[in-house]
Amino acid sequence: MHHNSPWTESPFFESELEKSDLSPEMKEKVRFYSENGYLIIDPEIPETLLDEAREGLLSEFSNRKSTRIQDIWKENEKVRQIAIAPKILDLLQVLYRKKPIPFQTLNFNVGTQQRTHSDTIHFDCIPQRFMCGVWVALEDVKQDNGPLHYYPGSHKYPIYNLLDMGIMGSASKSMEDSLSRNYQSYEDFIEEFVKVKKLTPETLHIKKGQAIIWSANLLHGGNKIERPGATRHSQVTHYYFEDCVYYAPLLTDMAIERINIREITDIQTGQKVKSSYNHRPISNTGYSYKVYLPTHILRTVVPESLRKRVKSLLFR
């Protein structure tokens, strides 16, 4: 049965799993991911690579006076190597049955203490849920250095976006604008949601080199740093999958045809990846806004040939 969502989130998952030729051990992992929305793994990344990535970023953190560095993979080969670790890519291929595309890295030197959220508010795609995050510990993560928390099974809830809060994303001028004006409303909404649903968090205590994969809609955040000055070196890589439309929900309003399509770069190849809708590449990126003109004006002002030309530009 073809179902255009990740097979681990498909209503036909159990029968698909039975039919699959995966080993019993892999079937267990896939089932766990389907039920819980996360998986803790050892991606077998060489320790020297983890150390070199961490050491190589120390000066970056102090120069930038920042605790979070985005997309340093472009300059730091060690960060890029972690993002394309073969064990991770192979497992994502099994979990999603599509080719994974690593498209963003985030490196941290301390815990984020970030409020609970789902990554779908930042990156989404059509079909939905073909996105995940992989968080690799570059040092041991314990109770006192701001570990990650997550809510097992929360990925099964609906995907919430700004419209659920009564906010129009496309009214924002930029991502920074939307984050500063709208993001707290989203975080408040999720906090209330967690309370009402009486969800119980788990805390991630993992050893250096271990990783957690979480599915697009899993609720997660960062716990408080209990030991002042404690570091928590880690790397998150976000992955989309091939043949989807990649867009930014914080700047999008689907129903009025205002969609902010993201231009993504495949970290593995360094090449740009076009969005595609049901196997048809889409050429527009950035803001794609439809402008409505009254039909009588269109007929008098825009020649038939030009109207056809405009239509043909949408799909290339």
How many CA within 13 A on the CB side of residue 23? Answer: 4
pLDDT greater than 90 at residue 123: yes
Q: For residue 262, which amino acid is it?
A: R
In whole angstroms, give the CA distance from residue 311 to residue 81.
Answer: 42
Given a cut of 80, whether residue 159 has pLDDT beyond it is yes
Instruction: Answer yes or no: is pLDDT of 298 > 80.
Output: no
Q: What's the confidence (pLDDT) of residue 200?
A: 95
**Across 216-237, average pLDDT:** 81
Position with higher pLDDT, 187 vs 231: 187
The per-residue pLDDT for 140 is 86
pLDDT score of 152: 97
Mean pLDDT of 187-210: 93
DSSP string covering the chain: ---SS-GGGSTTHHHHHHHS---HHHHHHHHHHHHHSEEEE-----HHHHHHHHHHHHHHHHHHT-SEEE-GGGT-HHHHHHHT-HHHHHHHHHHHSS-EEEEEEEEESS---PPPB-GGGT-EEESTT-EEEEEEESS---TTB--EEE-TTGGGSPPP-GGGGT--GGGSSSHHHHHHHHHHHHHHHHHHHHHHTT---EE----TT-EEEEETT--EEE--B-STT----EEEEEEEESSSEEE-GGG-BGGGTEEEEPPEE-TTT--EE--EETTEEB---EEEE-----HHHHHHHS-HHHHHHHHHHHB-
Residues belonging to the chain = 316
Q: How far apart are CA 77 and CA 202, in angstroms?
A: 33
Measure the CA–CA gap between 165 and 188, rounded to whole angstroms. 10
Residue type, 274: K
pLDDT of residue 287: 60
Can you read off the two tokens belonging to residue 8?
């681990």
CATH annotation of 7-291: 2.60.120.620
* Residue 316: per-residue pLDDT: 45
Cα–Cα distance, 204 to 3 (Å, whole number)? 32
Judge contact between 137 and 130, C-beta under 8 A: no
Mean pLDDT confidence for 251-258 = 92
Q: What is the mean pLDDT of residues 63-84?
A: 92
Domain boundaries, the chain: 7-291
Higher-pLDDT residue of 309, 212: 212
Give the pLDDT band of residue 78 (cuts 50, 70, 90): very high
- Report the amino acid identity of residue 128: Q
Bridge-based pairing of strands 100-108 and 68-70 is antiparallel
pLDDT tens digits for 21-54? 999 999 999 999 999 999 999 999 999 999 999 9
The pLDDT of residue 297 is 59
**What's the average model confidence in pLDDT over 277-294?**
71
- Per-residue pLDDT, averaged over 225-247, amounts to 86
> Is the pLDDT confidence value at 289 over 60?
no
Q: Please give the residue that has the higher pLDDT: either 257 or 83.
A: 83
Q: Bigger pLDDT: 290 or 164?
A: 164
Instruction: Tell whether the model's pLDDT for residue 84 goes beyond 90.
Output: yes
Given a cut of 70, whether residue 168 has pLDDT beyond it is yes
Looking at residues 257-274, what average pLDDT do you find? 94
C-alpha pair distances (Å), 113 with each of 32, 107, 144, 149, 226: 27, 14, 12, 10, 10
> Could you tell me the CA-to-CA distances from 54 to 67, 107, 223, 244, 267 in Å, in that order?
13, 9, 21, 33, 19
